[in-house]
Amino acid sequence: MMSRMEERLEKRKAWSNDEMLTEIRLAAQMILSGELVGFPTETVYGLGANALDMEAVKKIYEAKGRPSDNPLIIHVCNIKMAESVVDLNWRARLLMDIFWPGPISLVLRAKDIVPEITRGGLDTAAVRMPDNAIALELIRISGVPIAAPSANRSGRPSPTDAVTVREDIGEAVAIVLDGGPAKVGLESTVLDVSGESPVLLRPGGISKEEIETALNMPILLPSDGNSLKRSPGTRYRHYAPKIPLLLADCSYSSESGGKKWAWIGTSEPTGSPFIKIIFKDTEEYAKELFRVLRLIEKSGAETIIAEIPDESGIGRALKDRLVRASGI
């Protein structure tokens, strides 16, 4: 009898686009040759390399301008591949069965096969199985785990489409696989399950409440900076547009000092912004955030005012990205 995860993977095996499959096979050859590949996931687009090839992984850090102590997430296509790079425990196996493939990365003790550069110098590594047919097929055909942060210059808003990848780091990649817009739009949840008490290192597409229900136990939040070191994207300014971003509620009006300001949120602002983008709900706000930040910075607006979202569900992850983008 198949597990829940195996049933979900079985549904993603159907493949009808021969042209895309040819591109995926070419991309897999590039991965095995030590090159970088841009590819879609359900969260954001990734900049991928063979996670076990030190020289290939080094190219990721160079292409992004990424600090070397910022670890990478290792993407896998099955449990056997996950077992080859980290030590699995019962909590990890349960979460994998419930949420994989999906937007949650699990931090576990790394095996010696994982190069230090991939781990950011730590004794742990984050692994996840993306919920995207192109990504899964790329990993499967490559036959190796793929290390992949978001496919953008470090500190910039993450790319949610192939065009943005080409604009940001096109010269650094051998090929970009175009899978259309990302369906989640924010990076994965990162959960440390290497110890006795699970710790939420980065909120994302799977909420804290969903994880607590699955494990039937409370999830802790990081108590110090040492905990955060185990997660990508938590210790440096990230997701920032080229113009200032401020956080406010819908009562914001004219405190921008006469500058042309843009408003983004789910509510109507009381003032008169140069541009306003109103999302139908928090989910759309999260999905479109990075695309909209890049759009507004090209519009002539001088400041972005972002409505602070409610922290339920994906709102916690959305607020996290807005806070980091603002530099608070």
Note the pTM of the prediction, 2 decimals.
0.92
From residue 115, alpha-carbon distances to 48, 73, 218, 225, 323 in Å are: 15, 13, 32, 23, 32
Which architecture, in CATH terms, is 4-228? Alpha-Beta Complex (3.90)
CB neighbours of 325 closer than 8 A, spacing ≥ 6?
157, 237, 238, 239, 240, 241, 245, 293, 306
Nearest CA to 296 out of 245, 257, 238, 237 is that of: 245
Which residues are 126's β-sheet partners?
Answer: 73, 107
Residues 43-77: b if buried by 16+ CB within 10 A, e if exposed: bbbbbbbbbbbeebbbbbbebbebeeebbbbbbbb
Summarize pLDDT for 68-86 with one digit per residue, the tens. Answer: 888 999 999 999 999 999 9
pLDDT, position 7:
72
Summarize pLDDT for 224-243 with one digit per residue, the tens. Answer: 555 555 666 555 567 889 99
Whether the Cβ atoms of residue 262 and residue 274 lie closer than 8 Å to each other? yes
pLDDT, position 118:
97
pLDDT, position 33:
98
pLDDT, position 195:
93
Helices of type H across the chain: 4-11, 18-32, 54-64, 79-85, 90-99, 116-119, 133-142, 162-169, 208-215, 225-228, 282-297, 315-326
Binned at pLDDT 50, 70 and 90, residue 318 comes out as very high
CATH class of domain segment(s) 245-326: alpha beta
Please give the Cα distance from 79 to 138 (Å, whole number).
16
Enumerate the domain spans of the chain.
Answer: 4-228, 245-326
